[in-house]
Chain A
Amino acid sequence: MIALSAAQLSFNTPGADAPRQTIFLSDNPGRPMPLRQREGFLVRDGEVPEGFGWYLLHGEATAVAARLANQRVVLLPPELDYLGDGDVVRLNPERTALRVLYRRSSPHNHFLLTERCNNYCLMCSQPPRNVNDGWIIDEVIEALPLIDRDTVELGITGGEPTLLGERFFDLVRSAKSFLPDTALHVLTNGRLFVNPVQAETLGKINHPDLMLGIPVYSDLAHVHDYVVQADGAYDETIRGILNLKRERQKVEIRVVLHKQTYARLPQLAEFIARNLLFADHVALMGLELMGFARANLEELWIDPVDYREELTAAVNILSRARMNVSLYNLQHCLLDRSLWPFARRSISDWKQEYMPECDGCELRTQCAGFFASAKYRYSDRITPLDGSGWPVRNQKAGG
């Protein structure tokens, strides 16, 4: 687990007086002179090239700090040791804070655009707050040009990003302009696309590689509306998906698996195969115990082993319909073996963990592992597996 922000940092005097800003970090002493003023230099071994707008020092480099008294300097705590060349951070000297916006070495970079949402899902990992946070997207749009153009994928989350209206479309336009080769994956509930004009606006941007990840929790409207705690949401989401597909946008259907959604999984799969066969991807996801999921633990928790039958049936229906199916956040030893080819290691690198029960499991490098939050509740049937996928204990007992 790594920290993505830090507060109570020490800024030196010139640094503390500087305005908030988003900067590109480099450890390359040979950066072109004209760029340095807008960038931060990561001081590693005492070498301090001149001309950078900021110098970021690890705690023990304080001797260097004295030499840089006239430059803007911020001292990094050990948990930010990982910052490297090409990363992008937001500095807020007034609050002595730093946020990491982008890590070049990570395949899992995402931006949270707003905490506001028009759903209120029982298991929301990022509980919505009705706050005025329009500044966030301004920062993100500012950061996009600093991001490495070889970035494979960027995630956009919320809250509900589309509530930002025209600013959301600005972001997609910017991403297309500055990062044309980067896939953009947007998590949205799709409800606002019930307005065909919104879908059309997105379609016209013609982003080369945009995927909208949209949750559909049931084949029955009232069950979906209950899960997202919003009457009428289902019809808007489904119509939104139809409008987006009419605009030839890529759509991923996302289903979070828990006690309120598992029972009709096969029926939901049939419904998707029959009505939404044009979806580009279906992701079936184990529950992450963050936010509301923890508050509603008793209503939501079910051991994945106990929905194995429904999940297996659903995946088979979807894959027989030749849909593209993935399982996220689900561990190998809890799944029917036939589903392993669908299981992805999806948990962001900084969140993925394993349990003490996993000791000796030879499939760890294939297994999705756990969110750190799984410590609040996880299956009591974790079973280390041997190289060919059979429970280790059985093998010992047998041989």
Chain B
Amino acid sequence: MSRFQQLAEFERPLAAGYELLPFHFTALDDDNYVATNVAGEFVVLTRPDLEAFSSQSLPHTSALYDELKSKHFLIDSDSDVAIDLLALKLRTKLAPLANFTGLHMFVATLRCEHSCPYCQVSRANDDRTEFDMSEATALKALDLVFRSPNPAIKVEFQGGEPLLNFPLVRFVVEEAKRRNEAERRNLAFVIATNLAVIDDEILDFCRTHAILISTSLDGPADLHNKNRPRPGHDSHARAVAGIHACRSALGRDQVAALMTTTAGSLGRVREIIDEYVSLDFDGIFLRPLSPYGFAMKTKFYRGYDQARWLDFYFEGLDYIIDLNLSGFWFIEHYAALILRKMLTPFQPGYVDLISPAGIGIGAIAYNYDGDVYASDESRMLAEMGDKTFCLGNVHTHSFEDIFLGDALLGPLEASFAGSAPMCSWCAFEPYCGADPVFHHATQADFVGKKPLSAYCNRNMAIFRGLIQRMRSNPDVRAVFERWANLG
């Protein structure tokens, strides 16, 4: 008799059966289901397997049993450390919430020298300053910024075109840095600009203060210029020249570009991606068009339906995946955000895809006139006459009024996905979010009926599409793992 015991001895406790840990399941395709646990780990299984597992009759000798045990869908009398690990993973995902608001948007001015038809907020360029933020308003807003307990504070300048009110940008940056000498936060600045009016003085300032530039690039010149009319029809040329100028002045990775999808974009996703590739960006964020503001009024939003956008998205995603498979490193950022939730213990703080919703507690917008909005979209809604998400004004309301008032807590609580109909039993809830502003805008309800929700339909299709792609090809899974671990 050996001094050593056989494996069978250690398997003996498994025969006593197992207990289920919390999980949800949703159909993936005609044959398979996706099951997820509270930490967002997923297993794909057939309907008979799902039935066997959930009726606690799955044999412990099956490979699926091992997978479910390893990924913390069950515990047996052999081991219960899964509970500690699940708790830790859940805590890791939720921990960033305690930091509270990290992104603070300052609407430096509503003026803009572009006149984009889909733009929700901007005013024609003129010399009037009634749409500019004043220093007095900025000081009050900064008081609120530093009330946030977040150790990392990002101040983003929005517009209009914020560089048309550059003195205010300069004032806020210098004042915030002065205050930060005592506050000691990890303080960062971003300017969202179309780059049309950037000059050496501004670049110097950005270099001195390590300010990131976020610009707009919708694709090839004709598409970009059609989307973004300005005197001279040279928006694209100015953006490209600006990107080069920023890179040489500030560093290659100090410039990011965002695209806006319009009806004209559909069918041209490869050209759009090629534009990003040829301009030496590391990736692209294939964005849906938001339903707010002029975009809705001008029927751009209705100009195409959800299915057409999803075709656009997946054609682009597959094109990008192929680039990666052939050895060229390029990222689709929306997929990367979701994959981070699927494949890592982390929770990216992207405000549109998080629950509780990111409004107010993830990001906040200070409008030029001192009104405080729960998100950038909230102020666009307000421009259409709906001030539901206006939380107060920096001149008349306190931090507590704004951040702890019903205007914010009401929609946050109502829309919480963990208790919303459909979301609360949806397998994709760990990857999804709550978007009370979108659902209010489209269904006049913070929660929204998810079967009718473009937000739900779009995200669910993307969740399924990502899981299917990494399941059917291990090389795609490898690409996805790299994207997921970028953050």
Interface residues of A (CB under 8 A from B): 120, 122, 219-223, 225-226, 229, 231, 234-235, 238-239, 242, 260, 264, 267, 270-271, 273-275, 277, 296, 316-317, 320-322
Contact = CB atoms under 8 A, between A and B. Distances in A.
Interface stretch (B10-18, B122-130, B157-165): B10-18
13 contacts: A122-B4, A220-B69, A221-B79, A223-B10, A226-B5, A226-B9, A226-B10, A229-B5, A267-B70, A274-B345, A320-B478, A320-B485, A321-B485
A277 B93 CA distance: 13
B66 interface: yes
Given A226-B5, A235-B80, A275 B10 contact: no
Nearest to B72: A275
Contact of A225 (B10, B71, B80, B485): B10
A219 B89 CA distance: 16
B7 interface: yes
B344 A222 contact: no
B481 A321 contact: yes
Contacts of A296: 4
B185 to A, nearest CB: 23
Contacts of A242: 84-85, 88
B369 interface: no
Nearest to B85: A275
B14 A234 contact: no
Contacts of A317: 481
Interface string B1-35: 00111110111011000000000000000000000
B78 A239 contact: no
A234 B84 contact: no
Contact of A222 (B4, B79, B88): B79
Interface in B147-201: none
A219 B70 contact: yes
Nearest to B3: A120
B70 A223 contact: no
B96 to A, nearest CB: 16
Which of the listed residues A225, A229, A242, A317 has the most CB atoms from chain B within 10 Å of its own CB? A225
A396 to B, nearest CB: 31
B70 A238 contact: no
B81 interface: yes
A238 B86 CA distance: 13
Contacts of A235: 79-81
B41 interface: yes
A238 B11 CA distance: 19
Contacts of B207: none
A321 B85 contact: no
A309 to B, nearest CB: 11
Contacts of A238: 81, 84-85
A226 B344 contact: no
Interface residues of B, number: 30
Contacts of B482: 320
Contact of A221 (B7, B9, B78, B89): B78
A260 B345 CA distance: 28
Which of the listed residues A221, A239, A317 has the most CB atoms from chain B within 10 Å of its own CB? A221
A221 B81 contact: yes
Interface of B: 3-7, 9-11, 13-14, 41, 66-67, 69-71, 78-81, 84-85, 88-89, 344-345, 478, 481-482, 485
Given A229-B4, A242-B85, 8 more contacts: A221-B79, A226-B5, A275-B89, A277-B345, A317-B481, A320-B481, A321-B344, A321-B481
A226 B69 CA distance: 17
A219 B70 CA distance: 6
Contacts of B89: 274-275
Contacts of B66: 220, 264, 267
Which of the listed residues A222, A242, A277 has the most CB atoms from chain B within 10 Å of its own CB? A222
A322 B485 contact: yes
A271 B78 CA distance: 18
Contacts of A225: 10, 78
Contacts of B3: 120
B192 to A, nearest CB: 29
Given A234-B79, A235-B81, A222 B481 contact: no
A234 B78 CA distance: 10
Contacts of B14: 222
Given A242-B88, A317-B481, A222 B345 contact: no
Contacts of B7: 222-223, 226, 260
B70 to A, nearest CB: 4
A274 B344 contact: yes
Nearest to B5: A229
A234 B81 contact: yes
Contacts of B84: 238-239, 242
B10 A222 contact: yes
B83 to A, nearest CB: 10
Nearest to A245: B88
Contacts of B10: 222-223, 225-226, 231
Contacts of A219: 70
Nearest to B67: A267
A231 B85 CA distance: 19
Nearest to B65: A220
A267 B9 CA distance: 23
What 4 pairs across the A-B complex have the smallest Cβ distances? Answer: A221-B79, A235-B81, A219-B70, A226-B10
A316 to B, nearest CB: 7
Nearest to A266: B474
Contacts of B13: 222
B75 to A, nearest CB: 10
Contacts of A120: 3-4
Contacts of B88: 242, 275
A235 B71 CA distance: 15
B362 to A, nearest CB: 23
Nearest to B11: A222
Nearest to B70: A219
A221 B41 CA distance: 18
A49 B81 CA distance: 63
A275 B346 CA distance: 11
A321 B88 CA distance: 18
Contacts of B69: 220
Given A296-B4, A320-B485, A275 B345 contact: yes
A52 B85 CA distance: 58
A84 B14 CA distance: 57
B62 to A, nearest CB: 13
Given A277-B345, A296-B4, A320-B478, A271 B70 contact: yes
Contacts of A229: 4-5
Contacts of B80: 235
Contacts of A222: 7, 10-11, 13-14, 78-79
A231 B10 CA distance: 7
Which of the listed residues A220, A264, A273 has the most CB atoms from chain B within 10 Å of its own CB? A220
A234 B41 CA distance: 21
Contact of A316 (B5, B78, B81, B478): B478
Contacts of A316: 478
A267 B11 CA distance: 19
Nearest to A267: B70
B263 to A, nearest CB: 38
Nearest to B88: A242
A270 B67 CA distance: 11
Which of the listed residues B4, B67, B482 has the most CB atoms from chain A within 10 Å of its own CB? B4
A174 B67 CA distance: 45
Contacts of B485: 320-322
A78 to B, nearest CB: 39
A154 to B, nearest CB: 31
Contacts of B79: 221-222, 234-235
